[in-house]
């Protein structure tokens, strides 16, 4: 079994965890973070860890050959960057919402909604991961990201923001015929404890598990936060044990 380094690139922090380790680490991110700087900081932070392959979740469109667009809240140079050469090992890339969705998946048809700077989203059904861009859809003379993102929370206040989110989630669940919805992202902590039926808040550490699962590894024991225990039920594997990202 390979040891995987799972990397979640955010707008303010880059979070890291290797399979078999128990304590995540982090390095600074920000609008000037280039992929070369990210690799340099990660390599320095993990010099005492051993790993055979890397998974990287990035807030951008990702295709089979790597990033298709530059992340909006990071530095430039991500499209076309050779991550495998930089890390000197195999690398698999994924959209950050898709990677967290993969780590939260328990089977069936699942919709993931990430409430952060904007709205991240992904759909998983039968080992097929479909990254979505729901944040760009028009919504109330604006977009989903603008109405449900961090700026709206700060401007409208927690009560109004919560009300709109709770009204929106069931509609999206119905539209995608999802068996259940997992919500995540930095602003999920502001949601009320009583959520609509079939909706649950995911553990923030599931992004790491998503990175492990990209390589066929299910490292669940590391994914425990105080007061929150993710499901230990692993989804049934497909015939070849692989996940497909569309």
- Segment 57-111, tens digit of pLDDT: 998 889 888 899 999 889 999 999 999 999 999 999 999 999 999 999 989 999 9
pLDDT in tens, 15-34: 999 998 989 999 999 999 99
Please say if the pLDDT value at position 239 is more than 60: no
Mean pLDDT (the chain) is 87
Q: Which fold has domain 106-201?
A: Nucleotidyltransferase; domain 5 (3.30.420)
105-121 burial, b if ≥16 CB within 10 A, otherwise e?
A: bbbeebbbbbbbbbbbb
Residue 186: pLDDT band (50, 70, 90) is confident
Top-confidence residue, 47 or 229: 47
Q: Please name the residue that has the structure tokens 């951008």.
A: 60
Domains 4-98+205-245 and 106-201 share a fold: yes
pLDDT over 70, % of the chain: 88
| CATH fold label, 4-98+205-245 | Nucleotidyltransferase; domain 5 (3.30.420)
Identify the pLDDT of residue 168: 95
Whole-number pLDDT of residue 73: 82
pLDDT value of position 17: 96
Distance in angstroms (rounded) separating the CA atoms of residues 208 and 103: 7
| Assigned token pair, 172 | 């999206």
Question: Token pair for residue 141?
Answer: 């003379």
- Is residue 86 within 8 A of residue 36, CB to CB? The reply is yes
Delimit the domains of the chain by residue range: 4-98+205-245, 106-201
- For residue 150 the two structure tokens come to 């961090």
pLDDT of residue 160: 94
What is the pTM assigned to this prediction? 0.82
Confidence at residue 197, expressed as pLDDT on a 0 to 100 scale: 93
Mean pLDDT of 191-211: 90
How far is the C-alpha of 168 from the C-alpha of 162, rounded, in Å? 10
pLDDT of residue 94: 93
Q: What kind and span of H or E run contains 91?
A: strand 91-95
């Amino acid at each position: 079994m390979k040891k995987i380094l799972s990397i979640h690139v955010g707008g303010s922090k880059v979070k890291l965890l290797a399979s078999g380790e128990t304590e995540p680490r982090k390095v600074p991110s920000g609008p000037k973070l280039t992929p070369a700087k990210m690799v340099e900081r990660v390599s320095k932070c993990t010099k005492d860890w051993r790993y055979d392959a890397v998974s990287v979740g990035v807030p951008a469109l990702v295709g089979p050959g790597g990033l298709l667009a530059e992340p909006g809240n990071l530095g430039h140079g991500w499209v076309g960057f050779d991550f495998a050469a930089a890390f000197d090992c195999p690398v698999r890339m994924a959209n950050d919402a898709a990677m967290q969705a993969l780590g939260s998946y328990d089977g069936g048809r699942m919709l993931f909604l990430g409430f952060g700077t904007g709205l991240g989203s992904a759909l998983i059904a039968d080992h097929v991961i479909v990254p979505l861009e729901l944040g760009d859809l028009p919504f109330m003379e604006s977009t989903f990201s603008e109405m449900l993102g961090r700026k709206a929370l700060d401007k409208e206040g927690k009560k109004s923001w919560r009300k709109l989110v709770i009204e929106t989630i069931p509609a999206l669940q119905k539209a995608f015929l999802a068996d259940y919805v997992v919500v995540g992202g930095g602003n999920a902590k502001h949601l009320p404890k009583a959520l609509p039926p079939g909706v649950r808040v995911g553990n923030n550490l599931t992004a790491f598990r998503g990175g492990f699962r990209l390589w066929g590894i299910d490292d669940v024991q590391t994914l425990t936060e105080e007061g929150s225990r993710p499901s230990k039920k692993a989804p049934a594997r497909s015939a070849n044990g692989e996940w497909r990202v569309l």
